[in-house]
A and B are shown apart, each in its own frame.
Chain A
Amino acid sequence: MNEQVKPVRSIGKHVPMVDGPEKVSGRAQYTADIAAPGALAGRIFRSPYAHGEIVAVDTSEAEKLPGVVAVVTGADCDVTFGVLPIAYSEHPMARDKVRYKGEPVAAVAAIDEATAKEAIRRIKLTVKELPAYFHAQDALAEDAVDLHETRPGNVERDVFYELGDVDEALGAADLVLERDYFCPEVCQAQMEFHAAVADYDPVRERMTVHASTQVPFYVHIQLARVLGMSRSQIRVVKPFVAGGFGCRTETLNVELISALLAKKAGGKVRTVVNREETFITHRGRPETEIRLKMGMTKTGKITGVECETYQRGGAHSGYGVVTILYAGSMIYAIYDIADVRYIGKRVLTNTPPCGAFRGHGTVNVRFAFESLLDEMAGELGLDPFAVRRANLLEAPTITENDLMINSYGLPECMDWAEDASGWNTRKGNIKSPGVGKKKGLGMACSHYISGASKPVNWTGEPHATVNIKLDHDGSVVVLSGAAEIGQGSSTILVQTVADVLGLDMGRVRVITGDSEVVPKDNGSYSSRVTFMVGNAAIEAAQNLKRVLVEAAARKLDARPDDIDVLGEVYRASSQDQGLTFDEVVAEALKDTGTITVKGNFNTIPESWGGNKYRGSAIGGTMGYSYAAQVVEVTVDEETGEVTVDKVWVAHDCGKALNRLTVEGQVEGSVWMGLGQAMSEETAYYDGLMTANNLLDYRVPTIQDSPPIITHIVESNDPNGPYGAKEAGEGSLAGFLPAVANAVADAIGVRCLDLPLTPDRVLAAIEGKSKTMKAARRRRGAR
């Protein structure tokens, strides 16, 4: 009987998500679904002015409306919030000044939506208008009015670094090219609207907030600040969350305003903003202008790089400093480059604030970099793959800007993509499918971090803590603050713990997202969860295993070293009948009662990045993912329409703990890059966001989405949990240049502007391609 008992293994398999049944059956409760009997309807009044000094916010008529229970304005909260402790520049509702159209200025809580809507209509805002700036270059003009007193010249952050000697390096090149690239602003457009249910208990003076967030911990901190309450009196619960992609990687005004309303009303307020408001809340990827200059030898070796980047950051600081730093630091860590000069400006403008969008800071620069690599390869008569191969790193290594690389699967990724796509035989040889139509292949590489080694709120605590509880019922309960947002983090927790213990996943439950119950976690962003929380979960599971082994040893009168852990059976020797899991548990409970163990994870100092320039820690991580992809397109030369026919992508995730979710993440990531490259862009008219719905903001439909062939490469990172690194962001950036390179292959024309809408492609074909300057002019003129 015992010979058949084996530890159950799920690592490396295709494992459906542990919370899948809830999602497909409609039982999953998201913030807008939660039953909240008696909850008032919260609604936000938004500024129609782009920039102005607030003269008055008159809410008197709104307050008179029967059914209105509470009204709040900027006057109710003089505490700022934000992301980085050094840059809390935002008030939940504008005070003194409004800085973008749509900025929250006031809010009401009423007995129902209709009353709330009518109350909002009755609020009057008077401002003394100031000049408004909708593009980075306009906000930087000499005579521009400052949006924030603390940010003269509207510069949120000015980054400069030079490592090595760039001028010398460029001088040594056989070819030097310089190009201007333009990437419009894009939004996450996740399916779920922002929502919060804030419940204030006036008897106990406690606040509970359910929020659609990726970072319950950050929300907790900001709630305490903004409400002037002790953190101990606040509870944050994260229900099911339908996507984030970075738009909820920071505390949003929505949850803060709901809490302020709830406190004033002395009760419960549910605020669900609509799609237009979700777009306005923004925190997406900034409009970016990039000037890139590169030197290359005739064998394809990159000699030196100069990159100048302007990010139109929107009206508040948010993640701005981090985004402009990532754009610069991550020029490294993918190829063997030494000499780089980076000039980055994060600019404040009168548009909704941008944030951290999947691939944070790295995506637009990667578009420029891989496009220029390709163009230079073409001029030198070199194959694009050959050029990348001429510049490969060798792990383990430390980059010029002190970034630690211990595993590097890029070569294997490229080999696979090259082979699977038939690159060598097909490129330049694909038959045209019809009159006026041309085919092309393009490739590009990309990479991303597995969590930032230095967290935003540096408290000295471990990067991740996971608790495990085991009690009389024999179910292993994993308690983690890790925010499941659809990326599968809860499944990874169950898998890793189950795997260490050799148990079937059904024995393991995971509880996340309630600050009263689970240990705090920094949140789901920068792809940190698998690496950091996964490692913490493994440590916790090993601690639990030790307790169980000791108990089994006691009961079997053996030494712990002699115990075989077979999952459902613990045995002292092969002849021994052994104990069932439940028997071991019962024995373990005897001493201590309910067993609770903990596991931690800390990053190592070598991964913290360097200090060669201010902000150089940004980019430091425990492990980088790598990706290579090939894109096949058909271009209609007469209409400019580009069809993406197929994508081959190989992603080095160190080790695929769950092959199903890794594939899903890579496919989704590539596809999101496709959206940005092909059809997505925000648009403003006089500062009013016009593409504020899912018709005009063109998320690709199933009809626009090609087959994506995914290949997993496992470079087995020495520090990753089972060797795993991230899988959810690294592949996104590569799509943008790969498709632009494919278009160039098809029609011999380079598009330096995104997205590749037919009108832009046609303009490029006719030599009327807009450079950054002209594009700026066009966009600046509404």
Chain B
Amino acid sequence: MDPLHDFTLLRPTTLDEMVKARRKAPSARLIGGGTDLMVNMRRGIETPQTLIDTNGVAEMASIRASTKGFEIGASATLASVGQHEKLLQYFPAIAQAANAIAGPIHRMMGTVGGNICLDTRCIFYNQSEWWRSANNDCLKTVGEMCHVAPKSKGVCFATFSGDLAPALLLYDAEIDLAGGPRKRTIPLTDLYIGYAKQDGSTGDGKNYLALKKGEFVAAVRGKNTAGLVSAYDKVRIRRSIEYPVAGVAVALKRKGDKLADLRVAVTGTNPRPVRLEGTQSLCGGPLTDDVLAGLDGLVRDQIMAMKTTFTPGMYRRRVANVLAKRMVRKLWETAGG
């Protein structure tokens, strides 16, 4: 079969070793399940000289969750997240998101860190070497044009398609970053910089993660809010092995007949997962049609509809809206007791 390019594989067994390996080779890529990186490597899209296998670092695979909060190591598999009793109980959106990813074997291989940092996707990018070269390459690799938006000046619209991120964003999650000049912790939302603005002032589909040289995600954690209920759902064409046409995570808090808290995040549409801004302004009263119309407006304003996949962009945004409203209604009802 097609051989991969030459590279060195390192297999650290502790986080310390991993950090050291990364500091030695800052552009080394981490490989967990390989369900994202390896596919791209086989297509010649990525050609890292060094790979660091995260599977042997047990301390990075731990999962802790209680009613107060969660902490998940970046090497934890998606299957272990999706089956974790306490996550299912206290942070259902996260467990549901994990269980919605790809297929069962992919979930036993894929890791939390891998999904958080999932490479952005586009029909012009996720192709073989021959295909991309026949298409004069694209902006995300070595080409000069974004084929999705040829008129955009040097802005890439590749779409972020990880399912976990929106669920994690609901809880204002923060991530530990190791391997860089200094260990640091940042809000997860600050990781995603794929704003794809025309003035190029922030990242886009190509530069979509704010990681310093050598940095990698070591863990993610979040705090719970009392009374918050959550869920994740995604629209797909097939029921398995599908990136989200649109994936929506919703969390809300109901106090009697009042919507006390509302958080909505979307994936599969923009070059970053989007935690909708302005949902708090919809709170304070009962869940009325006005509230849902308001949510409608937020989705329409903040969610893109670019044709980076086979499903028309307009449909994706449309259906993200339908899902968001549905889930809000459903959680409202279940929270009502």
A762–B317 Cα distance when bound, in Å, is: 13
Interface residues of B in 285-337 (CB under 8 A from A): 310-312, 315, 318-319, 322-323, 326
Find B240's partner among A112, A638, A696, A701 (CB 8 Å cutoff).
Answer: A701
Decide: A48 and B312 in contact? CB cutoff 8 A.
no
How many Å from the CB of B107 to the closest CB on chain A?
13
B131 interface residue, CB < 8 Å from A?
Answer: yes
Residues of B within 8 A of A117 (CB): 2-3
Q: A638-B326, A700-B238 are in contact. Are A683 and B318 (CB under 8 A)?
A: no
Cα(A549)–Cα(B237), bound, Å: 62
CA A690 to CA B326, docked complex, whole Å = 33
What does the 1/0 interface line of B110-152 toward A look like (CB < 8 Å)? 0000000000000110011011011100000000000100000
**Per-position binary interface string of chain A over residues 261-275, scored 1 when its CB falls under 8 Å from any chain B CB and 0 otherwise:** 000000000001010
Interface string of B246-289 (1 = CB under 8 A from A): 00000000000000000000000000000000000000000000
Q: CA–CA, A342 to B127, complex, Å?
A: 41
Verify B2–A113 contact, CB threshold 8 A: yes
Q: Cβ of A641 < 8 Å from any Cβ of B?
A: yes
Which residues from chain B contact A158 at a C-beta distance below 8 Å? none
Give every chain B residue within 8 A of A679 (Cβ-Cβ).
237-238
A-B CB proximity, top 8 nearest: A48-B134, A703-B239, A759-B315, A701-B240, A703-B240, A114-B3, A638-B322, A704-B239
The answer for the CA separation of A274 and B131 in the assembled complex, in Å, is 13
Report A-chain residues with C-beta under 8 Å of the C-beta of B310: 683, 690-691, 696
A432 at interface, CB cutoff 8 A: no
B1: interface (CB < 8 Å): yes
Most buried by B among A272, A639, A701: A639
Q: Is A758 touching B134 in the complex (CB atoms < 8 A)? A: no
B241 interface hit (Cβ, 8 Å): yes
The majority secondary structure among interface residues of chain B is: loop
Cβ contact within 8 Å between B131 and A692: yes
| In the assembled complex, A606 has its CB within 8 A of some CB on chain B | no
Q: How far is B312's CA from A688's CA once the two chains are assembled, in angstroms?
A: 18
Asked whether B227 is an interface residue with its Cβ less than 8 Å from the other chain, the reply is no
A-B contact pairs, 15 of them (CB 8 A): A117-B2, A685-B123, A685-B124, A685-B135, A686-B135, A688-B131, A688-B134, A701-B103, A701-B239, A701-B240, A703-B240, A757-B237, A758-B235, A758-B319, A759-B315
Q: Are A704 and B240 in contact (CB under 8 A)?
A: yes
Let me know if B123 and A276 touch, CB within 8 A: no
Q: Which residues on B sit within 8 Å (CB–CB) of A757? A: 237, 311
Q: Which of B75-115 contact A (CB under 8 A)?
A: 103
Residues of A within 8 A of B134 (CB): 48, 101, 688
Q: Are A688 and B322 in contact, with the CB atoms below 8 A?
A: no
Q: With contacts A112-B3, A679-B238, A692-B127 known, what are 18 further pairs, Cβ within 8 A?
A: A113-B1, A272-B1, A638-B322, A639-B319, A685-B123, A685-B135, A685-B147, A686-B135, A691-B310, A692-B128, A700-B238, A701-B240, A703-B239, A703-B240, A704-B238, A758-B237, A758-B315, A762-B319
Of the residues B131, B238, B323, contact of A701 by C-beta under 8 Å: B238
- Residues of A close to B131: CB separation below 8 A: 276, 688, 692
CA distance A638 to B123 in the complex (A): 26
The verdict on A545 contacting chain B, using a C-beta distance below 8 Å, is no
For chain A, the bracket of interface size reads 35 or more
**Across the interface, do B237 and A276 meet the contact criterion of CB distance under 8 Å?**
no
Min CB–CB distance B62 → chain A (angstroms): 30
B124 contact set on A, CB distance < 8 A: 685
Q: Digitize A97-120: 1 where CB-to-B-CB distance is under 8 Å, 0 elsewhere.
A: 000010000000000111001000
The one of A683, A686, A703, A759 in contact with B238, judged by C-beta atoms closer than 8 angstroms, is A703
Instruction: Kindly provide the distance from the CB of A36 to the nearest chain B CB, expressed in whole angstroms.
Output: 15
CB distance from A754 to the nearest CB of B (A): 13
Q: Are A759 and B312 in contact (CB under 8 A)?
A: yes
A696 and B241 form a contact (CB under 8 A): no
Q: Which residues of A contact B245 (CB under 8 A)?
A: 758
Q: How far is the CA of A48 from the CA of B326 in the complex (A)?
A: 46
Assess whether A698 is interfacial by the CB under 8 Å rule: yes
Q: Is the interface of A mostly helix, strand, loop or mixed?
A: loop
A86 at the interface (CB under 8 A from B): no
Complex alpha-carbon distance, A695 and B75, angstroms: 25
Binary interface encoding of chain B residues 1-41 relative to chain A, with 1 for a CB under 8 A from any of its CBs, else 0: 11100000000000000000000000000000000000000
Bound: A701/B242 CA distance, A: 10
| Contact assessment for B318 and A762 in the assembled complex, using a CB-CB cutoff below 8 Å | yes
Most buried by A among B3, B103, B239, B323: B239
Q: Is A702 an interface residue (CB 8 A)?
A: yes
Chain A, Cβ-Cβ closest to B322? A638
Collect the chain A residues with CB atoms within 8 Å of residue B128's CB.
274, 276, 692
CA distance A696 to B308 in the complex (A): 12
CA–CA, A276 and B239, complex, Å: 23
Q: Which residues B222-245 have CB closer than 8 A to chain A?
A: 235, 237-241, 243, 245
**Residues 163-215 (chain B) with a chain A CB within 8 angstroms:** none
Chain A, 193-230, contact with B by CB distance < 8 Å: what is the 0/1 string? 00000000000000000000000000000000000000
Report B130 CB to chain A, min CB distance, Å: 6
CB of A639 within 8 A of CB of B240, answer no
Inter-subunit contact B130/A702 (CB<8 Å): no
Nearest B residue to A436 by beta-carbon distance? B326
A46: interface (CB < 8 Å):
yes
CB closest chain-A residue, reference B318? A762
Whether A701 pairs with B241 at a CB distance below 8 angstroms is yes
Cβ-closest chain B residue relative to A114: B3
Residue of B nearest to A762 (CB): B315
- Measured in the bound complex, the distance between the Cα atoms of B238 and A762 in whole Å is 16
The reply to whether B123 and A274 form a contact with Cβ atoms under 8 Å apart is no
B243 CB to closest chain A CB (Å) equals 8
B196 to chain A, nearest CB (A): 21
From A696, which residue of chain B is reached at the shortest CB distance? B310
Once the chains bind, are A274 and B2 in contact (CB under 8 Å)?
yes
C-alpha gap A337/B195 in the complex (Å): 61
B237: chain A residues at CB < 8 Å are 679, 698, 757-758
How far is B198's CA from A291's CA once the two chains are assembled, in angstroms? Answer: 45
Enumerate chain B residues within 8 angstroms of A701, measured Cβ to Cβ: 103, 238-241
Q: Give complex CA distance A700, B245 in Å.
A: 16
* Whole-angstrom CA separation of A272 from B2 in the bound complex: 10
Nearest CB in chain B: distance from A102 CB, A = 8
Contacts of A698 in B (CB 8 A): 237-238
**Chain B proximity of A701: nearest CB distance (Å):** 4
Chain B residues near A274: list those with CB within 8 A: 1-2, 128
Cβ A46 vs Cβ B130 within 8 A:
yes
A300 to B4, CA, bound (A): 63
A194 CB, nearest partner CB in chain B, Å:
14
Per the bound structure, the CA–CA distance linking A704 and B239 in Å amounts to 6
Give the shortest distance, in Å, between A533 (CB) and chain B (any CB): 35
Q: Contacts A48-B130, A704-B239 hold; do A696 and B123 have CB atoms under 8 A apart?
A: yes
**Roughly how many angstroms separate A698 CA and B319 CA in the complex, as a whole number?**
20
CB under 8 Å from chain B, chain A span 691-731: 691-692, 695-696, 698, 700-704
Complex Cα distance, B315 from A48, in Å, reads 31
| CA of A36 to CA of B77, assembled, Å | 40
Bound together, the chains give a CA A56 to CA B276 distance in angstroms of 55
A691 vs B3: C-alpha distance in the bound complex, in angstroms?
A: 23
Q: Are A639 and B322 in contact (CB under 8 A)?
A: yes
**Alpha-carbon distance between A700 and B236 when the two chains are bound, in angstroms:** 12
Task: Please give, as numbers and ranges, the residues of chain B lying within 8 Å of A688 by CB-CB distance.
Answer: 131, 134-135
Which A-chain residue is minimally distant from B124 (CB atoms)? A685
A703 contacts across to B, CB distance below 8 A: 238-240
Q: Which of B127, B130, B235: most chain A Cβ within 10 A?
A: B130
In the assembled complex, how far is the CB of residue A730 from the closest CB belonging to chain B, in whole angstroms?
A: 26
Query: How many Å lie between the Cα of A641 and that of B315 in the bound state?
Result: 12
How far is B326's CA from A695's CA once the two chains are assembled, in angstroms? Answer: 28
Cβ < 8 Å to B, chain A residues 427-455: 436
List B contacts of A641 (CB < 8 A).
235
Q: Which B residues lie within 8 Å of A691 (CB)?
A: 310
Interface string of A5-26 (1 = CB under 8 A from B): 0000000000000000000000
- Measured in the bound complex, the distance between the Cα atoms of B320 and A639 in whole Å is 9
Q: How far is A640 from B314 in the complex, measured between Cα atoms in Å?
A: 13
